[in-house]
Structure 1
Amino acid sequence: MAVPAKTSVCDEGEHQGEYRPPAITGLADLLDPHVRTRPHARALVVSGDRVDVSYGALAALTGDVAARLGSTGLRRGDAIGLLCANSAEFVVALLGAARAGLVVAPLDPALPGSQLTARLEALGARAVLLGPARARQTARTGVPTWPLRVSASRAGTATVSLDTGTPPVRRAGGAAGGLSDQDALVLFTAGTTAGAKMVPLTHANVAASVRGICATYELGPGDGTVAVMPLFHGHGLFASLLASLAGGGRVLLPARGRFSARTFWDDVRAVDATWFTAVPTIHEVLLNRAETEFPGPRVPRLKFIRSCSAPLNTATQRALERTFGAPLLSAYGMTESTHQAASEPLPARGPLKHGSVGRSSGVELRIVDAHGRPCPAGAQGEVWVHGPTVTRGYLGNPVETARSFVEGWLRTGDLGSLDEDGYLSLTGRIKNLINRGGEKISPEHVEDIIAGCPGVGEVAVFAVPDPVYGQRVGAAVVVREGEDVGPEQILRYSRDRLAPFEVPDRLDLVAELPHTAKGALDRQAVEARYAR
């Protein structure tokens, strides 16, 4: 079915007066306000040709997919997988399935076949929607695989094709029995097949998260962004895609469905971006290439830059602000809280406290000691989160649910403190602490200090087994290209800024560090490679 994809010459201007977050109830009605009032406004910019897709066109495509899925025998509350890169196909499949009342589980396209099959079996998925790149290389998943393809042209049309020729399966077992049509998504936490947990998120969770993100950054029709982060993780899905569309803004989906530093600033110009969000490793890449690639005044002025999913050291934060001329706002979130739980505010809405991850974003934050008692302001303890974005638990995993959820509170496993103004500062993960002869050391804190040493590009700190102290501190450091800095200089810098027991006992210079699919430091891989 061909639908109009006309785009207005310019989108609506900035919102005026007091900001009101979008009135949505979940994924199914995410587009509705803008389809009614601004159907020709740009929603997506897609493909290597950077073709515009309007809100009216996107709604028609998702409606078509919803109708086709509804005719397959799938029932409301059934679970399906989504295997797709950051592309128009991902957006249309996600929103179309939501309109059909299905529960969608976005999956990492890079997963090995065995892990993909294991996750689909654990979920009890009845089918898998495939983007075009995966249609030719799908592993044997044990469920029907339905290729989906979106075509959009500069001539003003957009079409979708969906091959549902193979009927869906009805699986015995799996987590699907614990789902209902109140659920919108199932996201897998980072980890191995054995370690990854299934997090069910309701439409109410999604709506609360999106409204909180929009309110924090006052996202509206005048805003645009580039989808830097993968959409199968909460960071890219909620912050970049869903919050932008709910607010009526524009999202550019890069060519080949993934971030490219080479084309990034051209993408920023193509979508008239006003902000973007990424993990620290991507910020570092853009910063390192800025001298030769940042166009300066030839790109739209950014309102803000956002960093999330891993700690960003203060030195990099300040360098990003100086180079790109926009405030850098650190945020904090996790899959179990439907992404964002806290963020630094826009400068007009409150002070920036670099080194913190800001204030609560529509949830209640609490710092709790080892006995479960609330800590006073400034004291360190475990971060707990409560509110409308917090999931009900893990699917099919009552043991982990009981361990991580207490009377509606999510025990995050993160260490931190709240100051008198409610700003949250994180000091590390409880499970990452290094115990050196009874001294508890946060590797994240040591990393933050070493990262400030001139010439250091990236650092990973880890425990090294020791027969005397139990554990010692190890570090693997990546030096910036063209810099001449050695281990002794880095250690001397560290000794001036760290307690003696925190200074690495062993420091190795390495060419690169391993990262997870979403760009965070892969600590398991670091330990396997260097902690010997």
Structure 2
Amino acid sequence: MAVPAAASVRDANRYRPPAVTGLVDLLDAQVRERPYARALVVTGERVHLSYRGLAALADGVAARLGGTGLRRGDAVGLICANTAEFVVALLGAARAGLVAAPLDPALPAPQLAARVHALGARAALLGPAATNAAPLPVPAWPLRVDVSRAGTAAVAFEPGTCAAPQGSGAAGELSSQDALVLFTAGTTERAKMVPLTHANVAASVHRLCLTYELGPGDATVAVMPFFHGHGLFAALLASLASGGCVLLPERGRFTAGTFWNDMRAVGATWFTAAPAIHEILLDRSEREYPGPQAQALKFVRSGSAPLNPATQRALERTFGAPLLSAYGMTESSHQAASEPLPGRGVLKHGSVGRPTGVEIRVLDRGGRACPVGVEGELWVHGPTVARGYLGDREETAYTFVDGWLRTGDLGILDADGYLSLTGRIKNLINRGGEKISPEHVEDILTGCPGVADAAVFAVPDTVYGQRVGAAVVVRESEGVGPGEILRYCRDRLAAFEVPDRLELVTALPYTAKGGLDRKAVQARFAP
């Protein structure tokens, strides 16, 4: 469904995205031109930290890292929540010529240790919440940032020294051109290590700022975790590069109960989140959204997983702002496509917009381009695409082909170049030869009145090989039952797509990135 576009508040011919070359100079223009402007709002007291103050803290960390024996291009783990410590450590490591690998501090200790070992990191920087973590296979150095109410700040960081590199792990493939190593979503065994160069970072930040016309007048609240591309690139790096302000919630994590107060405190003009968080905010909006007293938003952004069009429309009505869906992967330095700002193109509910600084092709199984409107696998090419995976030549050879990233995602392009996602190849359910996209069935299920969330999975079957199962979360006040949900599905799905098994549940498992944890869904509901 196309939505008429309203006039933009900015002249596209006037807007110029920031010029950065990577993480090293991300703050430089702001420090020169607006040194005392807000960069971060931190702690439960919502203290302002200026660009000049943030840069000084990062330089201090960089100087201390220089005496540890670490060399340019060495990898260091970064185990921290969305706090000032994360930002200071990340930028400090970059200014010291190191490659930062953000890790989820909530991971079990054996998984953290396994990832640090697989990478071959020579040390780990620990935020406050991670200082009591189990021993790691490398030196672990706590880092703390203290910010006074007056905005003065100091960093407590006393690193030791590193032993000579042992040559183990995948870090031998890194160089001083690299900025980050991000782990893809998954278990320790399945997660892949994606090296991103400073040039990848610069290209990603450039396109994010250009797509949303981010500037010094913008502010946001950090909702998504910084150890994944969504929160790191879209909320943090793009905001800092463009001179905006980011509020870091107390204790460094999203809390629905304080979200709108945080938005008001920072004067937020936009925010970005995964569909699961949008659903939470929508469900709680009747009692928590401040309505006319809320800060006027330019736009709201959704990524990390497909957003149901019905939810998109409800969010737009509730928040009074356009909801822009975006698409990307860790391997493409986050964003590859997005719906445009109002005034820059039409909004098409159900799509993820047009390519942003990359080329996207839809190819069939033979590698041929699919006609407009025909489903195929999405391939991405451009300056944000990584060179491959660390320590995995076989997977690199399969996924990265002549500079193209084969995503494993299925989708279609329309005549206007808008992309619609239809599923993932590895998730397809094979019911007697009929290939079924769980994502498509979930989209229909969540469109049913009273359904808040849904997960579709394969159920083993001796006759058809697999049948369709569904776990559905319903809103308590709606009182909808399985019979009504299935009738809704039969009117909108092919007969072979209608769930053979449907179970009402109270909640579904999600990954830290905000996507449905399909492995957990399969284990919990399929047997």
TM-score, normalising length from structure 1?
A: 0.96
* Residue identity opposite 2:45 in structure 1: D
CA distance in 1, matches of 2:86, 2:25: 17
Q: Deviations over 1:220-266 (max 9, x none)?
A: 00000000000000000000000000110000000011000000001
**2:6 maps to which residue?**
none
Between the aligned partners of 1:156 and 1:289, the Cα distance in structure 2 is: 33
Counterpart CA distance in 2 for 1:133 and 1:89 is 10
In structure 1, what is the equivalent of residue 55 of structure 2? 59
Matched, 1:258 2:253: yes
Aligned to 1:383: 378
Q: Which residue of 2 aligns with 1:7?
A: none
Give the Cα–Cα distance (whole angstroms) in 2 for the partners of residues 43 and 169 of structure 1.
37
8 A contact 1:15–1:222 mirrored in 2 = no
Question: CA separation of 1:526/1:36 partners in 2, compared to 1, >3 Å: closer, same or farther?
Answer: same
Q: Residue 308 in 1 paired to residue 303 in 2?
A: yes
**What code does the residue aligned with 1:281 have?**
A
- Aligned-pair CA distance for 1:347: 1.0
Indicate how the Cα distance of structure 1 residues 493 and 47 shifts in structure 2: closer, same or farther if over 3 A, else same. same
Distance 1:126 1:169 in 2: 9
1:132 aligns with 2:128: yes
Equivalent in 87, 98, 101 of residue 102 of structure 1: 98
SS of equivalent residue, structure 1 residue 301: coil
Residue ranges of structure 2 left out of the alignment (5+ in a row): 1-8
Is the Cα–Cα contact under 8 Å of residues 127 and 169 in structure 1 kept in the other structure? no
- Given candidates 107, 113, 117, the residue that maps to 2:109 is 113
Do the aligned residues in 1 keep the contact of 2:36 with 2:52 (CA within 8 Å)? yes
Is 1:28 the counterpart of 2:24? The answer is yes
Given candidates 196, 204, 208, the residue that maps to 2:199 is 204
8 A contact 1:125–1:171 mirrored in 2:
no
Please give the secondary structure, in 2, of the residue aligned with 1:475.
Answer: strand
Does residue 215 of structure 1 match 2:183?
Answer: no
Give runs of aligned pairs for residues 451-462 of structure 1, distance below 5 A: 451-462=446-457
Shift of 1:77: 0.3
Deviation at 1:420, TM superposition (A): 1.3
> What is the Cα-based RMSD across aligned positions, in Å?
1.1
- CA displacement 1:166-203 (0-9 Å, x = unmatched): 53552322111100000000000111111111000000
Asked whether the equivalents of residues 363 and 386 of structure 1 are also in contact (C-alpha less than 8 Å), the reply is: yes
The 2-side partners of 1:228 and 1:95 are apart by: 20
Question: 1:178–1:501: structure 2 CA closer, same or farther, 3 Å change rule?
Answer: same
Query: Is the 1:307–1:329 Cα contact (8 Å) retained in structure 2?
Result: yes
3-state DSSP class of the match of 2:331? helix
Identity %: 75
Q: Which amino acid aligns with 2:186?
A: G
CA drift at 1:144: 0.4
| Residue 513 of structure 1, aligned match among 497, 508, 512 | 508
By how many angstroms is 1:451 displaced? 0.3
Aligned AA (2:290): P
Task: Give unmatched runs, 5+ long, in structure 1.
Answer: 1-12
Measured in 1, the distance between the counterparts of 2:416 and 2:66 equals 50
- What residue is the counterpart of 1:81 in the other structure? 77
Q: Secondary structure at the match of 2:257?
A: coil
SS at match of 2:470: strand
Does the CA contact (< 8 Å) of 2:67 and 2:161 recur in 1? no
What SS class does the counterpart of residue 347 from structure 1 fall into?
coil
CA distance in 1: counterparts of 2:169 and 2:428, whole angstroms: 35
Q: Give the drift of 1:16.
A: 8.4
Aligned to 1:467: 462
Separation (CA, whole Å) in 2 of partners of 1:113 and 1:51: 32
> 2:32 is aligned with what amino acid?
R
Give the drift of 1:84. 0.2
Please report how far the alpha carbon of residue 524 of structure 1 lies from its aligned counterpart in structure 2 after TM superposition: 0.3
Instruction: Give the conservation status (yes or no) of the 8 Å contact 2:122–2:162.
Output: no
Distance in 1 separating the partners of 2:524 and 2:257: 30
- Number of equivalenced pairs: 519
Residue of structure 2 in register with 1:39 after alignment: 35
Letter matched to residue 44 of structure 1: L
Matched, 1:437 2:437: no
How far apart in 2 are the matches of 1:101 and 1:439?
52
Q: Distance in 2 between matches of 1:79 and 1:373?
A: 39
- C-alpha separation between the residues in 2 aligned to 1:424 and 1:350? 14
Contact 2:410–2:424 under 8 Å retained in 1: yes
Q: Is the Cα–Cα contact under 8 Å of residues 15 and 220 in structure 1 kept in the other structure?
A: no
Amino acid at match of 2:329: M
Spell out, residue by residue over 1:290-312, the C-alpha distance to the aligned partner (whole angstroms, 9 max, x if none): 00100012121000000000011
Query: Which shifted more, 17-26 or 440-449?
Result: 17-26
Aligned to 1:150: 145
Cα shift at 1:154: 1.5
Instruction: Report whether the alignment pairs 1:269 with 2:264.
Output: yes
